[in-house]
Structure 1
Amino acid sequence: MPSGSSGAAGSAAGAAASGAAIELHNLTKRYPNSAQPAVDNVSMEIRAGETVILVGPSGCGKSTALKMVNRLIEPTGGRIRIGGEDVTDMDPVKLRRKIGYAIQASGLFPHMTVAQNIALVPKMVGWPKSRIRSRVEEMLDLVGLDPGEFHGRYPRQLSGGQQQRVGVARALAADPPVLLMDEPFGAVDPITRDHLQDELIRLQHELHKTIVFVTHDFDEAIKLGDRIAVLRERSHIAQFDTPEAILTNPADDFVSGFVGAGAALKRLNLSRVRDVEIIGYPTVRVDDPLQQIFDRLRDSGSNEILLLDKRGRPYKWLRRGDLMRAKGSLARAGTLVTDTVTRDATLRDALEAVLTDNTGRVAVTGRRGEYTGVVDMETLMNSVHELLEADRLDALAHRHDLEEARAEQTHAEQEGFTGEAKA
């Protein structure tokens, strides 16, 4: 799930355990007094280091299937192999300590600090205190939270997005090869969800874990998954393939229903901001002298400049008229930057941000929110047009293939009819 960042987190991640393959063989769950199984003979192979998304309608058993992998729900039948080891009969508590688990609304313990939450599993498995302390700081940095600022906070003192980041940090703290995620971003607002998705993509490119992720949101599945398993009732697999293959060639009407309208626009979720041109833009900082800001705007040849805060994060778009009215202070001048994207954001995220911001461009930021460049509307629209043209050519080729197939069938039928007539 994009290019990794550098620095301490990146180097620490280099020594982390990579993912492990998961094999499900005829996995079944039956509940007492239920006529049909909740999960019925599901078999699936997930490659090491792969992100697989389980998506399907409510009640199809996708969360039940996920929870059987770490045996929070015990299977009625079938086998589970992780890294080649059959874990079906393993002590479930020991198994869960080897598998990261992140859920909706983070699941943090409210009476524990952020550090205590993250340290929970490493402490259970007997890590020494010095190693745990170092790991907590490492994990906070990895998910983009300042260890000095968040170490001693309690969950109630965090925003929903920050809680989810801590939840992911806790799930990864003991360096498990497998991470299970059950609709982890379903309880946050859309903008925060987009940023959390981007963060997970970045983390996966650094850590290479095996991730199994449950969602009901097909757009989220396209954005995050290396492969997507579209599930019918009782977790029967309707299609298990790459996002691009499902978008361009859905297996049947059921899968097409999940794809929905606008497949070309959905394919914008397959391209990342880092895949297009990120351009520089004239910037100043809030603590720069006002005359220096005037001079920078004049020398740039632009009618607009981007004001950064003291941490180098996008803060306001400033126009010439704003500066003329500033009267020695930038407090009320300019237009606040309402949204940004990272290099790991999808082009669809970037397009939505541009349309929301009404500036014709969106600022691109690094893992700490620092400014790195902008992507403009022209670049995004060129990408949309390329996708639409590719879809048009694919449709023409598909129509041509159908016509050839019909012609061959008609010819074969005519030959058969002629042969019967001669007989």
Structure 2
Amino acid sequence: MSETTTATASATAAHGASIELENLTKRYPGSQQPAVDNVSMEIKAGETVIFVGPSGCGKSTTLKMINRLIEPTGGRIRIDGEDVTDIDPVKLRRKVGYAIQSAGLFPHMTVAQNIALVPKMIGWPKARIRSRVEELLDLVGLDAGEFHGRYPRQLSGGQQQRVGVARALAADPPVLLMDEPFGAVDPITRDHLQDELIRLQHELHKTIVFVTHDFDEAIKLGDRIAVLRERSHIAQFDTPEAILTNPADDFVSGFVGAGAALKRLNLTRVRDVEMREYPTVTVETPLQEIFTVIRASGTNEILLLDKRRRPYKWLRRGDLMRARGSLARAGTLVHDTVTRDATLRDALEAVLTDNAGRVAVTGRRGEYIGVVDMETLMNSVHELLEADRFEAMEAQHELEEARAQQTHFEQEGSGGVTKA
């Protein structure tokens, strides 16, 4: 896609819209209790709000009422101040992006046809649709030339989910609803998809409402989290940090679970910590020059990059000596990388599975950016633990002051009664 097209697309992109739920209720015939009971909530334009709660609590039902895939029994829904409970639901759904688990792609349509579905329905010109499909494939990290004509069965689970997100964004809606979109993929792919969504949101600033049962995913993705009880009653609606450090009650504490300080690693991104500069060479670098780089670096290891500057192998001095002049037999393949948008928890997991205690950081195209190591991550953990201790001491101090003040008032009151 040309720079002009990208600039034009960025200039005309629709940002997020506010969402208001007012006394939203859903009753199914024959059921004694409502599935969703009198839910009120305000979601700011451009923020990512996560609905998390136990199975059957009504979180998906609440989500689907926003675009009226499920019709509310009572209450109001306003998007950017417009009451959508009285407008045509089909038109509403064309203005609200929707992504679900297992992507939900039409198997008889190509990737391009799946993405183009809504723009075609609302009458976009063919040239605009074609440009939008290419733009979105690029946006979600898929090569348009390679994936344009493929069918869903020819894609991996992660690729299908990327196409599903692209389809949801096709008509550039201000609101994106996501119902456990990454629940059916393996953990590694899921982490990468989460990172991709974070990156996309940094670029697009949509209003995202996301349903999950995974509290760690909620912490990683959400600007705010709504912890829901039965019938979508809100137990706590706050920032991830506030919920981790000050859960409203035992129900919310159950979701937080043990290790709140470690869970807070999900609040810090790799881009927020200092990365190590690591000596690098490419597969095209002459062998003698590689030896020179290792000697000059003062380290025993360098990182070999492929022709597209993606991490390929870790090379040690001894590996090169034993390889007898051939890079093909030298070094250890790079199995794990993390992106700049990955959390420190993701990075810690990658580092712990690596014998040398480090992981390469990559950019949008997989290109090498830097390295984070165990020392950097442990310093971050210690800082979080110190912050927790300080907050606990502050809270204890405030509690003791409040108790002392209460005792003082009680003594004054008691003394007054005695004198009377």
Normalization by structure 1: what TM-score?
Answer: 0.95
Tell me if the contact between 1:60 and 1:232 (Cα under 8 Å) persists in the aligned partners.
yes
Task: Check 1:269–1:9 CA distance in 2 against 1; reply closer, same or farther (3 A cut).
Answer: farther
2:173 matched to 1:167? Answer: no
2:367 matched to 1:402? Answer: no
Task: Report the counterpart of residue 380 of structure 2 in structure 1.
Answer: 383
The secondary structure found in structure 1 opposite 2:369 is strand
Q: Deviations over 1:286-314 (max 9, x none)?
A: 23333332222222221001111222111
Q: Deviations over 1:194-226 (max 9, x none)?
A: 111111111111111110000111111111111
Q: Deviations over 1:142-191 (max 9, x none)?
A: 01111111111111111111111111011001100100000111111112
How many Å apart are 1:10 and its aligned residue?
7.0
Q: Distance in 2 between matches of 1:151 and 1:327?
A: 44
Task: Report the counterpart of residue 16 of structure 2 in structure 1.
Answer: 19
Tell me if the contact between 1:10 and 1:206 (Cα under 8 Å) persists in the aligned partners.
no
2:249 matched to 1:255? Answer: no
Task: Report the counterpart of residue 54 of structure 1 in structure 2.
Answer: 51
How many Å apart are 1:38 and its aligned residue?
0.4
Tell which deviates more after alignment, 383-392 or 307-316: 307-316
The match for 1:97 among 94, 98, 106 is 94
How many Å apart are 1:329 and its aligned residue?
2.4
Q: Distance in 2 between matches of 1:291 and 1:358?
A: 27
Amino acid at match of 1:345: A
Task: Check 1:259–1:184 CA distance in 2 against 1; reply closer, same or farther (3 A cut).
Answer: same
Task: Report the counterpart of residue 119 of structure 1 in structure 2.
Answer: 116
What 5-or-longer segments of structure 2 have no aligned partner? none
2:128 matched to 1:136? Answer: no
Tell me if the contact between 1:9 and 1:142 (Cα under 8 Å) persists in the aligned partners.
no
What RMSD, in angstroms, separates the aligned Cα atoms of the two structures? 1.6
Task: Report the counterpart of residue 41 of structure 2 in structure 1.
Answer: 44
Amino acid at match of 1:355: L
The match for 1:207 among 179, 182, 204 is 204
Q: Distance in 2 between matches of 1:249 and 1:11?
A: 44
Q: Deviations over 1:380-401 (max 9, x none)?
A: 1111111111111111111111
How many Å apart are 1:65 and its aligned residue?
0.2
Task: Report the counterpart of residue 188 of structure 1 in structure 2.
Answer: 185
Tell which deviates more after alignment, 342-351 or 11-20: 11-20
Q: Deviations over 1:6-34 (max 9, x none)?
A: 99757633430111111111110001111
Q: Alignment length, in residue pairs?
A: 418
Greater RCO between the two (CA within 8 Å, min separation 6)?
Answer: 1
The secondary structure found in structure 1 opposite 2:323 is coil
Normalization by structure 2: what TM-score?
Answer: 0.96
2:306 matched to 1:271? Answer: no
Task: Check 1:7–1:348 CA distance in 2 against 1; reply closer, same or farther (3 A cut).
Answer: farther
How many Å apart are 1:83 and its aligned residue?
1.4
Tell me if the contact between 1:273 and 1:346 (Cα under 8 Å) persists in the aligned partners.
yes
Tell me if the contact between 1:9 and 1:141 (Cα under 8 Å) persists in the aligned partners.
no
Tell me if the contact between 1:22 and 1:83 (Cα under 8 Å) persists in the aligned partners.
yes
The secondary structure found in structure 1 opposite 2:209 is strand
Q: Distance in 1 between matches of 2:314 and 2:103?
A: 35
Tell me if the contact between 1:337 and 1:357 (Cα under 8 Å) persists in the aligned partners.
no
Task: Report the counterpart of residue 281 of structure 2 in structure 1.
Answer: 284
Tell me if the contact between 1:102 and 1:167 (Cα under 8 Å) persists in the aligned partners.
yes
The match for 1:313 among 290, 299, 310 is 310
Tell me if the contact between 1:343 and 1:364 (Cα under 8 Å) persists in the aligned partners.
yes
2:336 matched to 1:342? Answer: no
2:231 matched to 1:234? Answer: yes
Q: Distance in 2 between matches of 1:82 and 1:357?
A: 47
Amino acid at match of 2:190: R
The secondary structure found in structure 1 opposite 2:328 is coil
Task: Report the counterpart of residue 3 of structure 1 in structure 2.
Answer: none
The secondary structure found in structure 2 opposite 1:109 is coil
The secondary structure found in structure 1 opposite 2:327 is coil
Task: Report the counterpart of residue 297 of structure 2 in structure 1.
Answer: 300
Q: Distance in 1 between matches of 2:389 and 2:418?
A: 43
Amino acid at match of 1:130: A
Task: Report the counterpart of residue 360 of structure 2 in structure 1.
Answer: 363
Task: Report the counterpart of residue 153 of structure 1 in structure 2.
Answer: 150
